[in-house]
Structure 1
C-alpha cells in the first residue's frame, strides 16, 4: 500500500491571471469561460508520484497586489506555493516579485518551495512578459519556472506535480544540512 502524504499548496498572484482556472483545470479537467472573482476556494486531489500518493490540498486565493498583507494562513502549515502571473500583464509579473519577498520574509528561511507560472501562454500576440524574464526570476529564487495555458490545458498537471517535487527537494535539502558527519 502506498504511503499517503498530505501537502497544502497555496496559489498566489495578481487578480485575473488564471489562478482559479489552473486549479479548476487540474482538479476537474475543464476550463470555464465565465469569470467570477475568487474570495478563496479550496480543492483536493490525490496525486500519485512513483510509489507515493499525495493528498494535495490547494488553496486558491483572491488576487493580491503589491500592498496585500499575506495572512498567516498562507504561511503556517503550507508546504509549497504556485505563484502565477499572466504573460499578457507586466504588472502581474511585478506583483509576483513583491509576493515572493513577503513569503520569503514570512517563512524566515531562505528556501521556499515555489513554482513560478506564466499563465495565458496561448495569448502570445498580447504578450508583455517574455519567457526568458520568468525563467530568470525563478532562477534568482532557486525555483522552477513554467509557462502554461489553463484554457488549452498546457502543463496544468505538470505544475502541480512539480510543486510536490519542489516541496520534497527543499525538505530534503534542509535534512541534509542538519546531519552530523563523523570522520
Structure 2
C-alpha cells in the first residue's frame, strides 16, 4: 500500500487512464497534471475530448486560472471509501464556482471505487443528493472497469452539450478533479 496525500487517492487519474488507454493503473503520481485527447462518439456524433487531469487537489488548493479558461465541463471525483474525499469534493466545487464566476457549470460528480463494497463509507444516495443540490449529474464508477469509465466521460459530454443548447461544437475540454 502506498502512502501519500490522502486527498489524491480518489482514483481520478486511474479513471482517466482507464478511459483514454483502456487499462487500469493502480499507482499514479498524484503531483503531475496531464492532458489527454480522445475521440469519443456520443449519440452518433464524434467529439474530440481534451481531458485535463489535475494534480492532486485538497481543500487548501488554489486553482490555477488555466482550470477555468476554455473549460466546458468538470468531472469531480471522490472515493466511496473515504468520508474525507467526499468532504473535500464539496469544498472543491465551491472553489470551482468562485473561480469560474458562475452559479452552475456542467459537472458530473463521480463516486469512484464502487467495487470496494466492504470499504464503502459513502452511500450512493448521499452522492446523488449532493449532485442534485449542485444541479450536476451523478454516477458511481470503478476505474477497474472500462465501461463505467467510458460512461463517466460520455456523461460529461452530454452535460456540456445540454449547457451549450446542443450547439454542434465538436471540441470539448473537460477538467477532472
Q: TM-score, normalised to structure 2's length? A: 0.86
The correspondence for 1:110, drawn from 103, 112, 124, is: 103
Secondary structure of the residue aligned to 1:157 is helix
1:28-177 equivalent positions in 2, closer than 5 A:
28-172=21-165
Structure 1 residue 44, shift from structure 2 partner: 0.8
Q: Contact (CA 8 Å) 1:122, 1:152: kept in 2 or not? A: no
- Structure label with greater radius of gyration: 1
Q: SS of the counterpart of 1:55?
A: strand
Bigger drift between 103-112 and 30-39 goes to: 30-39
The residue aligned with 2:3 is: none
Indicate the residue corresponding to 1:176 in structure 2: none
Q: Which runs of 5+ in 1 are unaligned?
A: 1-12, 174-183
| Runs of 4+ off more than 4 Å | none
From 7, 12, 15, the counterpart of 2:8: 15
With structure 1 as the length reference, what TM-score do the two structures score?
Answer: 0.83
- Mapped partners of 1:34, 1:90: distance in 2: 21
Go from structure 1 to structure 2 and tell me whether the alpha carbon gap of 1:140 and 1:51 turns closer, same or farther (over 3 Å shift). same
SS in 1 for 2:28: coil
Secondary structure of the residue aligned to 2:105 is: coil
How far apart, CA to CA, are the structure 2 residues paired with 1:14 and 1:78? 23
RMSD over equivalenced CA pairs, Å: 1.6
How far is the alpha carbon of 1:26 from its aligned partner? 0.3
Per-residue deviation at 1:71?
Answer: 0.8
The answer for the alignment partner of 1:177 in structure 2 is: none
**Aligned-residue offset at 1:37:** 2.5
